[in-house]
Structure 1
Amino acid sequence: MRAAIRTAVLPLLLLGLSGCAGLGLEQVLQAPTFRVENGQQAQLRYVNPSLNSPLGGAAVRLYARVGNPNPVGLTLTRLVGQLSLEGTNAARVDFPLGVALQAGNETVVPIDIAINFSDIPGLANVVRNALTGRPITYALNGTVGVDAGLLGQPSFGPMMLLQGELRATR
């Protein structure tokens, strides 16, 4: 009996929440949480010069543990932001994700970012640290968008998504 009541009431509650235009979805849903995945080392890899990148570049891979604190499943649809290395803006991040986040669960998401050295003249400290094997500090700030089904497609941020250290790999 209770299961039948819950089954009948939950859709009505969701419809009622989706109809509250003045309430704002950001107040109904909580933002996904981001933290560094400790089981995976963030990496910086050099990319050889090419026609499109005559000075070469770097590929950064960050591993985020993304959590959904909401009682409903979401799809992480977009991440727009800025990657900083050693306190210097290094790359603009703007890509779709399409990662399903189950209610109350977490998942590990690799985030790949390309850096073109000709676009960033102020990364001397990053190159020096990479060549000497020292860690390189990073920060990823941005806004994330989610698809919450009947509850809509809100965005959250800007906010600090990740920060930590990475090392150059060969």
Structure 2
Amino acid sequence: MMLAIRSTIAAAAVVMLSGCAGLGGLGQVLQAPSFQVEGAQQAQLRLLGPSRDRPTGGAAIRLYARVRNPNPVGLTLTRVVGNLALGGQRAAAVSFPLGVPMQANGESVIPLDVVLSFSDVPGLANVAQSALTGQPIRYALNGTVAVDAGLLGQPSFGPTQLLEGSLRVAR
């Protein structure tokens, strides 16, 4: 009797371990959170005047992302690292330490704030002109997303395009 129980447990363990090995790591066990532009809140750009830190002025940008956890387990969205492009020009490297808990199969709206100096990105003159004239400005946020899934680990996903949309000057 004990031999039959041990054999059953051993066989089950072999099946479970071989199944995990075939998955190729946590990236295939967990799905990446999905990002989309939050339609209820408009992305904003505020022009910043010259200062000691930004002698030619700059911009404060707030993007709103609706993030969905497609997994049947809760996780914490820990970091987004990547690049923000404005008007087709790379504008800033971004790193958002987040710590946002995500329920299983849940959604959250997350504001993402970026401040940049026009002197750091001379190719953004057309963006500044569009902002001053009230024209919409196209943006794209590309990057890698990291999560903490507890016992399932801390995988990262990407790089990929996370958000794409347009923003206007907030008045």
TM-score (norm 1): 0.86
Over 3 Å counting, the alpha-carbon distance change for 1:57 and 1:66 in structure 2 is same
Deviation at 1:23, TM superposition (A): 2.4
| Paired residues of 2:23 and 2:29 also in contact (CA < 8 A) | no
Per the alignment, residue 148 of structure 1 pairs with: 149
Deviation at 1:33, TM superposition (A): 0.3
How many equivalent pairs are there? 156
Per the alignment, residue 114 of structure 1 pairs with: 115
Q: How does 1:84-99 map to 2 (within 5 A)?
A: 84-99=85-100
Which residue identity is paired with 2:170?
T
SS at match of 2:122: coil
Whole-angstrom CA distance in 2 between matches of 1:168 and 1:142: 24
User: What do the CA deviations read for 1:13-32 (whole angstroms, capped 9, x no partner)?
Assistant: xx979x75972110100000
Over 3 Å counting, the alpha-carbon distance change for 1:101 and 1:16 in structure 2 is farther
Per the alignment, residue 27 of structure 2 pairs with: 26
Whole-angstrom CA distance in 1 between matches of 2:156 and 2:112: 18
User: What do the CA deviations read for 1:121-159 (whole angstroms, capped 9, x no partner)?
Assistant: 001211111111110000000001000000000000000
Backbone CA RMSD of aligned residues:
2.0
Over 3 Å counting, the alpha-carbon distance change for 1:26 and 1:64 in structure 2 is same
Whole-angstrom CA distance in 2 between matches of 1:122 and 1:105: 39
Which residue identity is paired with 2:81?
V
Deviation at 1:106, TM superposition (A): 0.6
Whole-angstrom CA distance in 2 between matches of 1:110 and 1:16: 40
SS at match of 1:122: helix
Per the alignment, residue 136 of structure 2 pairs with: 135
Structure 1, gaps ≥5 residues long: 1-11
Whole-angstrom CA distance in 2 between matches of 1:157 and 1:90: 20
Which residue identity is paired with 2:134?
G
Per the alignment, residue 72 of structure 2 pairs with: 71
Which residue identity is paired with 1:64?
A
Whole-angstrom CA distance in 2 between matches of 1:52 and 1:129: 23
SS at match of 2:119: helix
Per the alignment, residue 162 of structure 2 pairs with: 161
Per the alignment, residue 106 of structure 2 pairs with: 105
Structure 2, gaps ≥5 residues long: 1-12
Task: Write out the 4+ residue segments of structure 1 that deviate beyond 6 Å after TM superposition.
Answer: none
Structure with greater Cα Rg: 2
Instruction: Give the fraction of aligned pairs with identical amino acids, expressed as a percent.
Output: 65
Which residue identity is paired with 1:99?
V
User: What do the CA deviations read for 1:14-56 (whole angstroms, capped 9, x no partner)?
Assistant: x979x75972110100000000000000000012222121111
